[in-house]
Amino acid sequence: MTKKNQTLGEFIIENQTSFQYSTGELSKLINAIRLAAKVVNHEVSKAGLVDILGAAGDTNIQGEDQQKLDVLANEKFIQALTNREIVCGIASEEEDEFISINSNDKNHQNKYVVLIDPLDGSSNIDVNVSVGTIFSIYRRVTPIGTPVQLEDFLQPGRNQVAAGYIIYGTSTMIVYSTGDGVNGFTLNPAIGSYYLSNPDIKIPEDGKIYSVNEGHYVHFHQGVKDYIKYCQKEEGDRPYTSRYIGSLASDFHRNMIKGGIYMYPKSSKQEEGKLRLLYECNPMAFLAEQAGGKASDGYMPILDIQPKELHQRVPFFCGSKNMVDKVEEFIQKANPKQ
């Protein structure tokens, strides 16, 4: 029986029998992410005091400038997951290729791979805006004891056994699901423990918030433009309120709690969309569905997309079910899928 003020550690132990594969490894994996998040939280909280603000001088595989905290967070999460020998592979948004762990050890029996966006929205760090970490966990599909392969990572989102995010903001939260609802835990910095603060989160079926970078409006396809105009029209419970932070974890979290839709559509400048399917869209879609919401690329559920490459991008519409249904209606009317 879950109860508020239960620690994350207590919650994991109490609920591990509800995991589809109750061997204890998944619990250890969540614990490793929890510990790495505390380290990253510490670094984020002192970012203005030490030289970890700004660009690191490199670009990642997507051609984006890496921030110093991107690099640091990437190192901390990879280190935490590798040192505990609980995963057989890691893929990070900041790495060109996946990382195989203990690939030459035939006694290596680890079953899980982790895909991670170590510091989502990191360009906001310089202006003291909330950022986050997003993670996704799968059971490998290749034989245990053999080196992990690309196909272990290129799985549809429906195959996720767990997913979640950490928000580093006015308070630090871990929100995650193992396929049995969504729960949120808030860090008490005085004692370093996460406590259950948001049990069994549900996304309202309807919402009054739409989150999209309207600076790209002229580049959006017609169906999305029509939906934005619909959101702005004064009729019934509209106009809706526009709220956009630019950190996916923060935007998604607000809309999950209050009801709303997050949109990052494709455009004439980004025909495939901008967000990464494996590191951002799949984990958020998993959480959305577990909380009673919906996630779509405009035509089909995000979780049903078969990934083709590690850093694949897709259009993304996610949040309250009725709002996602409505934007799909506008998109498919303007441009029926062939």
Question: Is position 154 annotated in a ligand binding site?
Answer: no
3 state DSSP class of 57: strand
| End-to-end Cα, the chain, rounded Å | 48
Instruction: Give the number of other CB atoms < 10 A from CB of residue 209.
Output: 21
Measure the CA angle with vertex 307, ends 306 and 308; round to 5°: 115
Q: Which two tokens stand for residue 23?
A: 């061997």
Q: Does residue 307 have a cis bond before it (omega within 30 degrees)?
A: no
Query: Was 14 annotated as part of a binding site?
Result: no
Q: Known binder of ligand: residue 119?
A: yes
Question: What is the rounded distance in angstroms from the CA atom of residue 243 to the CA atom of residue 104?
Answer: 49
Tell me if 328 is assigned to a ligand binding site. Answer: no
DSSP, collapsed to helix, strand or coil, labels residue 258 as helix
Judge whether 120 is annotated as a binding position: yes
The answer to whether 213 is a known ligand-binding residue is yes
Task: Using CB atoms within 10 Å of the CB of residue 334, give its burial: 0 to 12 exposed, 13 to 18 middle, 19+ buried.
Answer: middle
104 marked as binding residue: no
- Please enumerate in sequence order all residues whose Cβ is within 8 A of that of 274, keeping only pairs 6 or more positions apart, or say none: 264, 313
Specify binding-site residues.
Answer: 93, 117, 119-123, 213, 244, 274, 280
Specify binding-site residues for Mg(2+).
Answer: 93, 117, 119-120, 280
Specify binding-site residues for substrate.
Answer: 120-123, 213, 244, 274
